[in-house]
Amino acid sequence: MALPPIFDRLRLPVIGSPLFIISVPDLVIAQCKAGIVGSFPALNARPQSLLDEWLDRITEELAAWDRANPDVPAAPFAVNQIVHRSNDRLEADLHTCAKWKVPIVITSLGARPELNDAVHSWGGITLHDVIDDRFAHKAVEKGADGLILVATGAGGHAGRLNPFPFVQEVREWFDGPIILSGAIATGRAVLAAQVLGADLAYIGSPFIATDEANAVDAYKQGIVEGRAADIVYSNLFTGIHGNYLRSSVVAAGLNPDKLPESDPSAMNFGGAKAWKEIWGSGQGIGAVTAVEPAAVKIERLKKEYAAAKAALI
Ligand SMILES: Cc1cc2nc3c(=O)[nH]c(=O)nc-3n(C[C@H](O)[C@H](O)[C@H](O)COP(=O)(O)O)c2cc1C
């Protein structure tokens, strides 16, 4: 199936994924101007009233960019909603998204038909993130337009499935947009995601090492210095399994090789400590060599993608 027309404006088949605390308007705007979808979790705008200001600014700045650059219009942006009982802002945040007719809503940790209906009512589309084929079926049954397959090695909350069978199995029955997430950090890997059967790549951790990211310098540097072996998979910090930078676990006085298991009922996505002190990261960061403007990173991805494509022909 062809991608929905909303993706026509992309100049690289990539969504800059939503990053708790880290994704702020500066990063989202830079991503969209450079031609990839920029996104942020609604919960990053605190207090709730700030969400309205953020959406106002993002909408205005992207419209101004489009007026000045009609030949390279900005890519659309996305807002991520955590659809979990611990999120008591969901209704208010959706209301604000409706006001600004947010073009893409990314839902995580729960699929709800009424939420999909609401987004469709203002002309938006929904993408739901899932960690296996069973959840993928559920999300589509409940009305999601596209699926984000969060494979093993992804930063933050991550699945356990290898991307090869994961994309293969979902593609067998789903012909809508598939976005592959997990340790994608080069243009070559973006192309690989498409060769596997995905439409777009979902890239998170590399954008932590950008000037625009809302992260302390030591975290950004940790992404630059880290490699796949420096990532620890644990459910201790939020109750859900995720990938974190080993150095931050050590700095918190814990032994990364002997972390206790957590009770899933301890799930607390908004627990800032987990993300402020224990730093989320995917396994793809070996490819990240510098903290730089997001636009510079995206231009490099575009060159790598074009070179990889040319080499295949
Ligand atoms: C620090 C951090 C915070 C994240 N926060 C969120 C979030 O708030 N909502 C969400 O849907 N995904 C979140 N994710 C997951 C990403 O959206 C995405 O699946 C992941 O970054 C992709 O893998 P990569 O980091 O290897 O590129 C987070 C990931 C990281 C690294």
- pLDDT band for position 286 (50/70/90)? very high
Averaged pLDDT, 8-16: 98
Write down the pLDDT at residue 270: 43
Does residue 155 share a domain with residue 24? yes
Ligand 1 midpoint to CA 310 (Å): 30
Does residue 293 share a domain with residue 172? yes
Write down the pLDDT at residue 84: 86
Does residue 29 share a domain with residue 135? yes
CATH number, domain of 172, equals: 3.20.20.70
Instruction: Quote the domain boundaries for residue 249.
Output: 217-277
Q: Is 213 in the pocket of ligand 1 (CB under 6 A)?
A: no
Write down the pLDDT at residue 13: 98
In the predicted model, is pLDDT for residue 271 greater than 80? no
Does residue 192 share a domain with residue 64? yes
Ligand 1 midpoint to CA 181 (Å): 9
Q: Is 238 in the pocket of ligand 1 (CB under 6 A)?
A: no
- Classify residue 284: in a domain, yes or no: no
In the predicted model, is pLDDT for residue 267 greater than 80? no
- Classify residue 104: in a domain, yes or no: yes
- Classify residue 2: in a domain, yes or no: no
Does residue 250 share a domain with residue 196? no
Does residue 137 share a domain with residue 42? yes
- Classify residue 298: in a domain, yes or no: yes
For the chain, what is the domain count?
2
3-state SS, one letter per residue, for the chain:
CCCCHHHHHCCCCEEECCCCCCCCHHHHHHHHHCCCEEEEEHHHCCCCHHHHHHHHHHHHHHHHHHHHCCCCCCCCEEEEEECCCCCCCHHHHHHHHHHCCCCEEEEECCCCHHHHHHHHHCCCEEEEEECCHHHHHHHHHCCCCEEEEECCCCCEECCCCCHHHHHHHHHHHCCCCEEEECCCCCHHHHHHHHHHCCCEEEECHHHHCECCCCCCHHHHHHHHHCCHHHEEEECCCCCCCEEEEHHHHHHCCCCHHHCCCCCHHHCCCCCHHHHHCCCECCHHHHHCCCCECHHHHHHHHHHHHHHHHHHHC
- Classify residue 1: in a domain, yes or no: no
In the predicted model, is pLDDT for residue 272 greater than 70? no
Does residue 228 share a domain with residue 160? no
Ligand 1 midpoint to CA 78 (Å): 14
Does residue 128 share a domain with residue 16? yes
- pLDDT band for position 275 (50/70/90)? confident
Q: Please choose from 17, 23, 82 the residue to mutate so as to test ligand 1's pocket, defined by most ligand atoms within 8 A of CB.
A: 17
Using the atom order of ligand 1, give the atom closest to the CA of residue 184.
27
Write down the pLDDT at residue 264: 60
In the predicted model, is pLDDT for residue 278 greater than 90? yes
- Classify residue 169: in a domain, yes or no: yes
Q: Is 203 in the pocket of ligand 1 (CB under 6 A)?
A: yes
Does residue 234 share a domain with residue 202? no
Does residue 230 share a domain with residue 201? no
Does residue 210 share a domain with residue 221? no
Ligand 1 midpoint to CA 107 (Å): 12
Averaged pLDDT, 276-299: 97
Q: Give per-residue pLDDT as tens, 56-106.
A: 999 999 999 999 999 999 999 999 999 988 899 999 999 999 999 999 999
In the predicted model, is pLDDT for residue 111 greater than 90? no
Does residue 229 share a domain with residue 172? no
Q: Is 129 in the pocket of ligand 1 (CB under 6 A)?
A: yes
Range with lowest mean pLDDT among 139-143, 166-170, 251-255, 270-274:
270-274
- Classify residue 141: in a domain, yes or no: yes
- Classify residue 258: in a domain, yes or no: yes
- pLDDT band for position 313 (50/70/90)? confident
What percentage of the chain carries pLDDT values higher than 70? 96
Range with lowest mean pLDDT among 99-103, 185-189, 209-213, 256-260:
256-260
Write down the pLDDT at residue 239: 86
